[in-house]
Structures are given as C-alpha cells and as structure tokens.
Amino acid sequence: MKRSLATAALLTAWVVTAAAGLVPAQATPAPASSSGDAFYTPPAGYESAAPGTILKSRETQASLFSLVPQRAQAWQLLYRTTDQLGNPEATVSTVLLPAGATPDPKRPLVSYQYATDSADPDCAPSRTITAGNPITTIAGQAEILLVNALLVKGYAVSIPDYEGPNAAFGATRQAGQAVLDGIRAAEGFTPLGLGGKQTPVGMFGYSGGAVATNGAAEAQPAYAPELTIRGSAAGGSLGNDFPGVITNFNGGPFASLAASAIAGLSEAYPAITDVLLQYANDKGKKAIESLKHMCVTEAALNFLFANIDTFTTVPLAQLLALPEVKQVIADDSPGQHTPAAPMYLYHGVFDEVLPIKGVDSMVQNFCANGATITYNRDLLAEHGIALLTGVGGALSWLDDRLDGQAPNPGCHTSTVLSDIFQPGTAEAFGSRLIYANFLSLLGLPVGPAGLYGPPANATS
C-alpha cells in the first residue's frame, strides 16, 4: 500500500540505533539555541538545582499551524532535568491554561508529548508551537490540535522539549525524565495555580510521543515517586523488538527515522560519535551532520528509502552485532521497568512503522510484573489510521482517571475490529477536537465554555 510523503512525515516514530559504550558522568553542555535565543541557556550553577526546578520563565503565544494566535494562556519554562547518563541538563516546556482559567488546586494537568522525531534542537515543541515557523515544522505544528482538545476540557497542559537542549532523539530514559521534571516544574509554577504534588496528572502521546510517555511511566516510580500520576495513554508505541524495528525502517519510506536516531543518539552517548565515524563512510558522516539541522518532514524527504548499508563500511546486520551497539540497545530499550500508574495502550495490528510484535512483548512483560494495563490491538489499523481511530478511547480513558475513577485492576488485552468504536470517540472528534479547533481557528477563547460549562475551572 502506498503512502504519501506527507503521511510519512506526519506519522513518524522513534527508533534506537547503532551506538557505543557509556561514558563517565559529567555536566551536559547547554548551548544557546541555534536560533540564538538566550532563554534556552541556563544560568551558571544550575547543575546544583533539584530536578524540576524552574530556572527561567516567560509568557509566550501559541499558534494554530504557526498562523492563528491561540487565545489560551501560555508560558515557557526553562527547568533543570537529567540526561540519559544521569548528568544535569536544562530543557524547556510550554505550559498552557484554558482561556479564562483561574487558579484551582484541583485542576488536572496533562503532560502531552509531541512526536518530535528529530535531531535538530530547533524542531522542539517550544519552537514549533509559536508563530512564523517554516513548513518543514508542519508535523510538530499539527499536534496543537490535540492540545486544544485538552484545554477545552479544562485541563492545564505541559508540553516538554523532552529531547533536551541537544536534541537527543532516541534517548528513552532522558525523554521520560524530562517529562517528569516538566510536570514538577508545572506544579511549582505559581501562575498555573495547580495543587503542587497533589495535582492529578495524566500523560499522553502517540508514536514518538508515546516513547517519551512510556519512558516517563517507567521512570516515575524511582525518579519522581512524589507525583500523583493517575494514568498514561500512548498509541503507536515502540516496543522491545529493536532489531525488528530498525530492519523494518532500513531502505523503506521511514528510513529517515533510523538515520535521525543515529544523529540524536550521538548526543546522548558521546562515545557513539567516535564509533559511528569509525564505520561511517564520507556519505554517512555528512548525513549525520545534516540530520542535526532537519525536522522530521525535511528528513523524510531527504532520506526516503535510504539504506544504511550505503552510509557505512559494514552492513547493518554487522553493526547491530557489535558488542558496543548491543550495550547501548540494552541500556536504552523500552520495557525494562514496570510502571506503577495505570496505562492505556493502543496499536494497529498492521502498523507498518512500528510493528506490533514488540509492543505485544512489552505489554506481556509489564503484566507479568504486576502492571495495570488496558491494551487495544486494532485489526483495521496501521500507524496512521490508529492515530485517528484510537484518540477517542485514549482521551475518554484519561478523563476517567483524572476524574478519580479507578481503572479495572490487572491487565486487559483486546483485539478489536476498530478502536473507532471505543467509548468517547464521538465526543473526541465532535465536541473535543472539532469544537476546540473551531474556536481556535476563529480566534475565540479556547477553554471549557459552551458544552463544558463555565470557563473558569470546569474540568468535566
């Protein structure tokens, strides 16, 4: 089945790839943004601050497809977090409140993870959510549609730049920690008026955003046990079948994801650069550098059907068999720690980007270790279709968790004809997605007005 380049760019996913051994802990360099914005540079001595500490803040203006200003309250927070190897670093989150919202310690917070899928720092959500961005950032711009569906319900929203200041695309642990520290920062940001550690929190993401969401769910019990995580919803996830995923990408329409992950992981694991350059030919070296300046759409166009074997001096299979590559795969692969909070996972049985086999295995491992999971396998969906058909059930499930309803205990795996028939799908597309973005397009306040009652504090 053919896929347009636009679909390939918008519905991309994450993958870990060739790497090298770990390096001793040291403070991660925190350069200014390549766009020259000094806001992204942390103050001297930030390393000694606790994870989640706000280092800087400023008001910002979110926009719909980089054109229409959003009438919702928005700020950007520079906060201290922790990188893949345990070193201090600083990253940015964009936090939003519905239009007309006032402080409410009972207001839920949803951390929404964009599918950034790029090794370019200028493709981070905090940059693509504002006005005036080029068409190459269209994939990131589109995710504001789901953010609006959260705002119209009355939720506060945190959107973290979870790849960090150097765009370490593919670094699962770093991504999860950045999500959790973004939640900490949001809870401590006075203008949001949340309830601190008692704030009911949900997490949500699809594809690349699911990787960060699941990473946060895995990391939370040990890294941020004080947070009140009511549940996480994720679709189109990366499972624990790395060899199958990388082989699936190579030479296909999503080959850019493998190439971008190589570039991103060279930032997460400094020793990778030397190892990659040892096996990369001149073409490969140039590709790694160029990918650090491309968002997902541009990378998809430039590396369509690319074969890694043409960028290296040895075949992909030989690279994957290197001991140092196996070490990083083992260190970075999802599914190693059991989430404590309930999870809602959904995946297309015929997902051509991230095959379902690895997700099935990851869920089985989680369930064997006592996780609470609702897992829907969609028979009629591939990656793009599942994005659309699964969002309703995910939003409805999150609503119930944030409303204080307990999920069914244990694990429940269902193979369904289509997730489009899940409870909440009609509301998600009608009175949530369409309604919220109709308000946004017309320049009207985006918040819980009309169908959702008074705009100040309603959340149900």
Would you please indicate which residues are annotated as catalytic (active-site) residues?
A: 207, 351, 383
CB distance 417 to 379 below 8 Å: yes
Helices (H) and strands (E) in the chain, counts: 18, 12
| Tokens describing residue 2 | 């053919």
Amino acid type, 458:
A
Rounded to whole angstroms, the Cα distance separating 32 from 105 reads 34
Max Cα–Cα distance, the chain, nearest Å: 63
Contact residues for 245 (Cβ-Cβ < 8 A; gap 6+): 15, 238, 239, 354, 355, 358
| Tokens describing residue 209 | 């955003």
Rounded to whole angstroms, the Cα distance separating 448 from 366 reads 36
Contact residues for 255 (Cβ-Cβ < 8 A; gap 6+): 249, 303, 304, 305, 306, 307, 308
Rounded to whole angstroms, the Cα distance separating 364 from 348 reads 17
Rounded to whole angstroms, the Cα distance separating 407 from 404 reads 9
Rounded to whole angstroms, the Cα distance separating 322 from 271 reads 14
> What count of Cα atoms within 13 Å lies in the side-chain half-sphere of residue 311?
25
CB distance 76 to 21 below 8 Å: no
CA dihedral defined by 398, 400, 404, 405, rounded to 10 degrees? -130
Place of tokens 């119209």: 152
